[in-house]
Structure 1
């Protein structure tokens, strides 16, 4: 196998999901699976097999995520190239923005928001990536509240329910609290998440509860992103992470952005931003003279 046709791959070992991406003969493959325990060689082989990738056929494998450090330096003849998660988040968001014309050049400062189990916000400027802020509120919160309030931890089901419901069925708006708008916020803006539930006689329906959960989480992420973007003086915000797999989340983010004059770029394949960044950084970090990377941002 020539260096130009050698497959390239990376795995992001997250708390909730394990994501994988591969570049094989000019084709990009992406897949994900639920977290199944601490990674080892058997698990890595199984993950790669799902994408029809053989570990034995890889010269190197990019790895990132909170649990990638549990793996050894090599698995057989395959070197593991470790990419810290902040760098992977930043580089992945950068690449997605460049691909779709949201950022003309890499040196332009971006805020990359990774809405996964929790939420991390990374300043990306050229080849420099730094954690700026974040929140413990994210996909893990969604699933936890989904189990308690909806009896499900299936994000697809929660998303479907949320799209059928209305958050104002459980939330209080400004109109409910102060009878009108405040500042630039319209009267229908949320004033108190889940505010209607303080009354013991109030019985919410399931779809409104789902919409309320997504709204609470989406608004928290969006407001943090708006303020973080102002703080680092950029208008360019790229949203990544599997929270973006949910249409209802995208709708909430878009709505909050509109209220504050902030556009959020939300790529179609946002859930794979971090693992994409890991692959691209691993390819850049690979410096042996017998290997020439063929990975491009044409994915």
Structure 2
């Protein structure tokens, strides 16, 4: 067989409710003109159209795959993405696209009509786990824990975590925070169960930021949150009990409450005595964005903790695009999970991925390659 005439383009696609993610491997590029054309286009820039971005800091070389590239764009820009693909003839040579995510159902007919590319839809949750396990096995610094989360300057330390054998890895929970949230129990690589979830996810954060602030994009909202003060928005325990709550009764002592704990998100304004006062002037967009980010992260963490206790699984991976460029969320997750774990005498391992938002697309890529063998 003449390998040079074999069309082998290695792509994995994940189209979520907010973001579409594409993973491309340069495997066998030298043998395939169509694949080389795609690679040259990818490398020609780091921005594509109005929303496409190549996350160059995530690029990684893996012996079995060559160099792997990661690209994301807004899901609502899919028509523009298809137009760009057609204009650059980047669909030539792509006969099958292995994909996950609800958008692959929604836009399947459009892809097949406009590009002549057959969409093969894969199980999304299984693909996330597939991508996780592959990266854990092949990329040494993929997984990490976070320390020093209590530093007032916001600095943290990432400590790489490796798993030598399957016995070291399984079982575990996956808390995937995308537009919404899914929680998976993974007993082994092919034994995956969705055990819980919540509609309070990254989509909630961005949707409320758009309604309540001037930010319109995810990165804009997080940049705002970085300088905000959530305590100007949230009602704290000490707002109710006054001061640091020391010696203020058996309730506080019994429940081991700190005065800095949030008693109610976004409730500080109801403490203002004058109902006609313009309360919105007292808080900034940054304050609101930060409070929203912490609210989502804290609620997801609590649901994760309850599921860990219920299923007796104490290794928890947090994944999904909500965590991209979001140290506020990751610090909130670690701080709250550790505090609640200590209160319940639990030892829960809290883990993150460097390519947290691309696991589904990466899993689709790996499954596509396996089907070619």
Matches within 5 A, 1:1-299: 1=3, 6-25=8-27, 26-36=66-76, 43=81, 46=84, 54-58=90-94, 60-70=96-106, 71=108, 79-98=118-137, 99=139, 100=143, 101-106=161-166, 108-124=170-186, 125-178=188-241, 179=245, 180=252, 183-198=255-270, 199=272, 200=275, 201=277, 202=279, 203-245=282-324, 246-261=326-341, 262-284=348-370, 286=371, 291-292=372-373
CA positional deviation for 1:111? 1.1
Query: Is the contact made by 1:45 and 1:54 (CA closer than 8 Å) also made in structure 2?
Result: no
Please give the alpha-carbon distance, in whole angstroms, between the structure 1 residues aligned to 2:351 and 2:120. Answer: 29
CA positional deviation for 1:135? 0.6
Root-mean-square deviation (CA, aligned residues, Å) is 3.1
Between the two proteins, the alignment pairs up a number of residues equal to 283
CA positional deviation for 1:273? 1.6
Equivalent position of 2:42 in the other structure: none
Please give the alpha-carbon distance, in whole angstroms, between the structure 2 residues aligned to 1:184 and 1:4. Answer: 66
Please give the alpha-carbon distance, in whole angstroms, between the structure 2 residues aligned to 1:184 and 1:57. Answer: 63
Q: Mark the structure with the bigger radius of gyration.
A: 2
CA positional deviation for 1:192? 0.9
CA positional deviation for 1:89? 2.6
Query: Is the contact made by 2:7 and 2:94 (CA closer than 8 Å) also made in structure 1?
Result: no
CA positional deviation for 1:112? 1.2
Q: Calculate the TM-score normalised by the size of structure 1.
A: 0.82
SS class of match (1:164): coil
CA positional deviation for 1:120? 1.0
Please give the alpha-carbon distance, in whole angstroms, between the structure 2 residues aligned to 1:148 and 1:238. Answer: 31
